[in-house]
């Protein structure tokens, strides 16, 4: 099998999973956006995925993402780049130059830095507020993956909404390890409702990865971030 055939097969399996999950939940599969997370994989894989019809790709490290986006921009101007990883404030300006959507906005200062970068670059950047689900689930705070907790979720949402060049899309989370994903995503739905009460346009929910996309679809996710189920296990990761 060539790499393209391998990716095509894995992509088809994932799309089948998404359609089945949507069917089970009585949801329209065409309203679900699959973001293929290509971190650790070469730009050539992104090209192959684009040939297979993928338009939304996700990355989690600025250095790697900015290089891939720059390399592919001339040939693939229609790709939408989603930044899904933890983001340092001093990288926000760089990310705002190529990212169409940032899924991991978890502090007001980061929102302000993204706004400055977007204004500078003359671009609009969609933003999800990343929610740390640990506290609401009764787990120890300080989870390894970032995210705002409690009332900070609303503070971050307000900061994004105040950014003229930012668009508040909704909330995002990663289900904590060792927790039933259905329980985790129910907690995310509660955060989503609180944000929507203040910001009615923030209707999107980014949740669900290779291992838990079914539970995410059942809980109302609109964006699924799937990496290893499509690209294989990441070189040197996990």
> Which residues form the interface with ligand PLP (CB under 6 A)?
37, 39, 60, 84-85, 174, 209-211, 225-229
Least distance from C-beta 197 to ligand PLP, angstroms? 25
Output the CA angle 10-13-15, nearest 5 degrees.
110
**Nearest residue (CB) to ligand PLP, 8 versus 224:** 224
**Nearest residue (CB) to ligand PLP, 121 versus 220:** 220
Residues comprising the chain, all counted:
238
Least distance from C-beta 224 to ligand PLP, angstroms? 9
**Nearest residue (CB) to ligand PLP, 108 versus 232:** 232
C-alpha dihedral sign at 100, 175, 10, 227 = positive
Least distance from C-beta 119 to ligand PLP, angstroms? 26
Q: Could you give the CA distance from residue 224 to residue 216 in angstroms, rounded to a whole number?
A: 8
**Nearest residue (CB) to ligand PLP, 88 versus 162:** 88
**Nearest residue (CB) to ligand PLP, 85 versus 136:** 85
Q: What is the DSSP letter of 32?
A: P
Q: Which long-range contacts (CB under 8 A, 24 or more apart) does 139-146 make?
A: 139/176, 139/179, 143/176, 145/86, 145/174, 145/176, 146/86, 146/104, 146/106
Q: Residue 144: which region, alpha, beta or left (left: phi > 0; alpha: psi -120 to 50)?
A: alpha
Alpha carbon 50 to its chain centroid, in Å, reads 18
Least distance from C-beta 167 to ligand PLP, angstroms? 19
**Nearest residue (CB) to ligand PLP, 201 versus 211:** 211
- Indicate the residue whose CB is closest to ligand PLP: 227
Least distance from C-beta 122 to ligand PLP, angstroms? 27
Least distance from C-beta 59 to ligand PLP, angstroms? 9
Phi, psi of 153, rounded to the nearest 5 degrees = -60, -45
Q: Are the CB atoms for 37 and 225 separated by under 8 Å?
A: yes
């Amino acid at each position: 099998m060539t790499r393209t055939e391998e990716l095509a097969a894995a992509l088809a399996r994932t799309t089948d999973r998404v359609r089945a999950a949507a069917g089970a939940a009585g949801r329209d599969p065409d309203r679900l956006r699959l973001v293929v997370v290509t971190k650790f994989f070469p730009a050539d894989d992104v090209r192959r995925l684009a040939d297979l019809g993928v338009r939304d790709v996700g990355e989690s490290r600025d250095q790697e993402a900015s290089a891939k986006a720059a390399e592919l921009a001339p040939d693939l101007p229609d790709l939408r780049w989603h930044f899904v990883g933890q983001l340092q404030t001093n990288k926000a300006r760089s990310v705002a130059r190529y990212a169409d959507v940032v899924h991991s906005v978890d502090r007001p200062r980061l929102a302000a830095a993204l706004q400055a970068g977007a204004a500078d670059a003359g671009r609009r950047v969609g933003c999800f507020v990343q929610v740390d689900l640990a506290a609401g689930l009764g787990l120890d705070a300080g989870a390894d993956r970032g995210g705002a907790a409690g009332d900070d979720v609303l503070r971050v949402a307000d900061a994004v909404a105040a950014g003229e060049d930012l668009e508040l899309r909704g909330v995002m989370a990663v289900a904590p390890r060792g927790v039933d994903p259905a329980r985790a995503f129910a907690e995310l739905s509660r955060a989503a409702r609180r944000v929507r009460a203040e910001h009615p346009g923030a209707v999107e929910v980014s949740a669900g990865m290779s291992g838990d996309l079914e539970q995410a679809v059942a809980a109302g996710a609109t964006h699924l971030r799937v990496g290893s189920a499509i690209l294989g296990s990441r070189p040197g990761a996990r």
